[in-house]
Amino acid sequence: MSAGAAGSAPARYRVQPGGRIAGTLTVPGDKSISHRALMLGAIADGDTHITGFLAGEDCLSTARALAQLGVRIERPRETEVRVHGAGAGGLTAAAAALDMGNAGTAMRLFTGLLAPQKFNSTLVGDASLMRRPMQRVVVPLAMMGAQIRTHDGRPPVEIRGTPHLRAIHYSLPVASAQVKSAVLLAGLYAAGRTRVTEPAPSRDHTERMLGAFGVHLEHEGRSIALDGGQRLKGTAIAVPADFSSAAFFIVAACLAASPSLELTNVGVNPTRTGLIELLRRMGADIRVRPRAAGHSGGAEPVADLEIRPSPLHGITVAEAEVPLSIDEFPVFFVAAACATGETLVRGALELRVKESDRLAAMAQGLSALGVENQLLPDGLWVRGAEGLTGGTIDSRGDHRIAMAFAVAALRASAPIEILDVANVATSFPGFAETARAAGLGVEAL
């Protein structure tokens, strides 16, 4: 599969202060679901037709890696993909290391998928991904008999193919959809029943999609189990708009909608939408209008969202709420900076090992805009400000940090310049254009 020319990515954004948010938007397809649709389609019998596919760099890295593994993938249109399934044992050895780019999800899920194959594989990524921890995926897979080597717990991930893994019962020490998914993918090839138990709910896209591909799973409390040896059947997957991408515009509309903003066809999986509840507790006016169930191929709930401007007030976020909003915290902290009173988030250590140390990046950026805050070992305390100053933000190459501070300009008194924004294309191609259409003064330089 050819991904096509990427074009020249912007190095920085300059965002003019103020603005009003209005209109109707549809953000790009869900990244998590697009990754999984490609991977499960690759090992299914028959073809899988994906619509609404996210043509961002992270998902294109997954598609290119699968092509290296012998899977035929066609993209007749930018957001439409046909995966010609290779079947359970049909993947073949890649001639070179598989480059995951910036995609941590891809690297962790591929580790589970490739551990039980008959060939060896090596996973690498960009400079940011090569610093991210992988050992928590390796630990349960090693318990299944997999032979995986990392470098001090970080990539490259060197996998010695080990067919006939053994099933395990694994209790996750920390809720993680990526670790859970890696174990379940390996469990498809293992002898016996693999069971994963979570300490708190995490994203359940993998379980939903496995069911769409014909895999029988058993749910009991916070445990999910599947029997090894089940074969997947190709299917149709309609990917909804990504809630994590919609989040930037949800907060933007809370701050500056005139009179309202509508976001259409948004995936509202309850393991993803914690931000809506947090913002509602802060006083946000967010209306969720569910769409009639169609053939989503993954039983994913979809809705249109209407957001009206609201005065926000600070809140304390409980540790149990963190996993349901983990990717939305950068823009949540912008909402906190524009609220009256204090906001406190604890139990969010996971944010330190994302594409950047997101807690430190947000603390530094908020300080640059005149917002009082305190960086904590596992969280952040923010005192809302009457208004933000302008300034220069180092996004640390993190797409969500860059987009969050673009939203902050709505309450700034001077322009905000955001550095190192090329990785926005990993999850939200065309962000600057979409933001301008909504009313943000974003200029890509």
Which pLDDT tens digit goes with each residue over 150-204? 999 999 999 999 998 999 999 999 889 999 999 999 999 999 999 999 998 899 9
Least confident of 49-53, 319-323, 374-378: 319-323
Q: Which domain holds residue 116?
A: 31-238
* Co-location of 21 and 38 in the same domain: no
Q: Which of 206, 238, 270 is at the close of a domain? A: 238
Asked if residue 2 is part of any domain, the answer here is no
pLDDT at 297: 52
* Co-location of 136 and 254 in the same domain: no
For 379-393, write each residue's pLDDT tens digit. Answer: 999 999 989 999 999
Asked if residue 192 is part of any domain, the answer here is yes
Nearest to residue 403, comparing CAs of 426, 373, 369? 426
pLDDT at 9: 72
* Co-location of 296 and 346 in the same domain: yes
Angle at 226 between CA 225 and CA 232, to 5 degrees: 145
CA 376 – CA 435 distance, rounded (Å): 31
Taking the CA atoms of 239, 267, 36 and 218 in sequence, report the sign of the dihedral they define.
negative
- Return the half-sphere exposure (C-beta side, CA atoms, 13 A cut-off) of residue 23: 14
> With a threshold of 0.85, does the pTM exceed it?
yes
Nearest to residue 427, comparing CAs of 33, 22, 24? 33
Over residues 240-269, the mean pLDDT reads 97
CA 159 – CA 41 distance, rounded (Å): 22
Structural element, H or E, at residue 259: strand 257-267
pLDDT at 1: 46
High-pLDDT (> 70) share of the chain, %: 97
Q: Which of 182, 205, 238 is at the close of a domain? A: 238
Asked if residue 116 is part of any domain, the answer here is yes
Give the bridge partners for 147, in sequence order: 160
Q: What is the CATH number of the domain that holds 172?
A: 3.65.10.10
- Return the half-sphere exposure (C-beta side, CA atoms, 13 A cut-off) of residue 125: 27
* Co-location of 228 and 215 in the same domain: yes
* Co-location of 231 and 258 in the same domain: no
- Residue 438 in 3-state DSSP? helix
pLDDT at 213: 97
Over residues 254-271, the mean pLDDT reads 96
Over residues 290-309, the mean pLDDT reads 82
CA 200 – CA 74 distance, rounded (Å): 38
* Co-location of 165 and 46 in the same domain: yes
Residues sharing a CB contact under 8 Å with residue 121, sequence separation 6 or more, in sequence order: 93, 94, 98, 110, 114, 158, 159, 161
Q: Is the pLDDT of residue 18 over 60?
A: yes
Q: Is the pLDDT of residue 131 over 60?
A: yes
Q: Is the pLDDT of residue 295 over 50?
A: no
Asked if residue 1 is part of any domain, the answer here is no
pLDDT at 229: 97
Q: Is the pLDDT of residue 55 over 70?
A: yes
Q: Which residue has the tokens 């006016």?
A: 285
pLDDT at 10: 84
Q: Give residue 152's identity as a one-letter amino acid code.
A: D
Q: Is the pLDDT of residue 2 over 80?
A: no
Predicted confidence band at 347 (pLDDT cuts at 50, 70, 90)? very high
**What phi, psi does 39 have (nearest 5°)?**
-65, -45
Task: Note if the bond before 377 is cis, omega within 30 degrees.
Answer: no
Question: What is the DSSP-derived secondary structure letter of residue 240?
Answer: P
Nearest to residue 218, comparing CAs of 230, 226, 210? 226
Catalytic residue annotation: 327
* Co-location of 125 and 211 in the same domain: yes
246 near 272, Cβ under 8 Å? no
pLDDT at 292: 79
Q: Is the pLDDT of residue 33 over 80?
A: yes
* Co-location of 277 and 397 in the same domain: yes
Asked if residue 6 is part of any domain, the answer here is no
* Co-location of 217 and 353 in the same domain: no
Q: Give residue 430's identity as a one-letter amino acid code.
A: G
Give the bridge partners for 51, in sequence order: 80, 238
Q: How many domains does the chain have?
A: 2
Asked if residue 317 is part of any domain, the answer here is yes
* Co-location of 411 and 354 in the same domain: yes
pLDDT at 363: 98
Angle at 420 between CA 39 and CA 330, to 5 degrees: 70
Question: What is the DSSP-derived secondary structure letter of residue 158?
Answer: E
Asked if residue 225 is part of any domain, the answer here is yes
Q: Which of 189, 212, 238 is at the close of a domain? A: 238
pLDDT at 34: 97
Asked if residue 4 is part of any domain, the answer here is no
* Co-location of 90 and 216 in the same domain: yes
* Co-location of 295 and 259 in the same domain: yes
